[in-house]
Amino acid sequence: MNLLFRDAHLFVSNFNYQLASRCRDLAQLQSEDLLAGSADILQAIGYRFSYGLAPDETLLELAQAPFSRALATSRPCAAVLQHCYAESAVLPSSAGERDVGVRNRYFTGALLKELGISELPYFCSFASGCAGFVFLSIAAAGLLTSSGGEEVICGMADSMPAGVTYDLANERILGSAQSSAFTIGRHRSGYQLLGCAIYSSTRSLVPLLELVKRTVQMIKDLAGSLQIELTSANVLVHYPNMFPDAWWMVTKYLRLSDEQHVMRGLSERAHCFGSDSVMSLAEMYNSMEGRTHFVVNYGLGLHLGISALKEVAIAQ
């Protein structure tokens, strides 16, 4: 499915993010029984460190800083948050708690309350895995194109639930606890949202070769719909911090150069769920008018998403 937003004139900007405070290397993760797979395999892929919540730190506290920074320069008409883990979407409650009102303390509502916001429409999803960025972009664009609102604030926040390892053994992915926020609105800044593509499957696993072929085809189809020339040197493709060999194959089949291949921070911060995209876009922004960015998301569900954005220059 392709969704085109070029004529809506919506812009993605105001990127903020924060990692959890406790950093561990692979040896520490293994010694604390926080790995389901092999530390040697993860190291061979390129992972070195992972971040988790400290004993005195909560996910709600972690999310406040990036969200408040994004709010400081925006006046949103709504908030949309996404979580990979269902456990992240509600605040922790005791195992014996029988009051459903106490058990269902929604994370987004609690976050807004902590930030002093008592009345703001908010929406939440946790069924899109690590493909949060593209799903948030679609949701925010839908809210703005069907209302008179000027801006929507988007956020992601996840930490590993108690008793869960920091890696996925079969997929060979190492994750980090993190939170991020950004805005999508009508003010011309950051990146113009051109369009998104989504593929979803109820299969538990997609072979990597199929993932490569499907990603290539989805990027080509979305580029064709938007009349973007992929052979231009003014194109970058952003990848999440997983499957590095597979993403290099995508770059090769698209006939792009190494300089057009963007994967940031795999060894330093591991895979940060959908926030990989927020971090990558924030770090790669250079006020280069017209440069096109394709952002790849892949997550449990299974979901494969592509976002197409056009960089806009900072107004002088």
Q: What is the pLDDT along the chain (316 residues), one digit of tens a residue?
A: 999 999 999 999 999 999 999 999 999 999 999 999 999 999 999 999 999 999 999 999 999 999 999 999 999 999 999 999 888 988 877 777 777 766 778 899 999 999 999 899 999 988 888 999 999 999 999 999 988 889 999 999 999 988 899 999 888 999 999 999 999 999 999 999 999 999 999 988 889 999 999 999 999 999 999 999 998 889 999 999 999 999 999 999 999 999 999 999 999 999 999 999 999 999 999 988 999 999 999 998 799 999 999 999 986 5
- Helices 208-225 and 244-253, packing angle to 10 deg: 40
Q: Which is nearest to 59 in space by CA: 127, 122, 132, 111?
A: 111
Say whether the peptide bond before residue 302 is cis (omega within 30 degrees of 0): yes
What's the sign of the alpha-carbon dihedral 68, 241, 238, 197?
A: negative
Rg of the chain in Å (alpha carbons): 19
Q: Report the alpha-carbon distance of residue 88 to residue 132 in Å, rounded.
A: 13
Q: What is the pLDDT of residue 182?
A: 98
| Domains of the chain, earliest start first | 12-185 (3.40.47.10), 190-311 (3.40.47.10)
Record the tokens describing residue 7, joined without a space.
């004529």
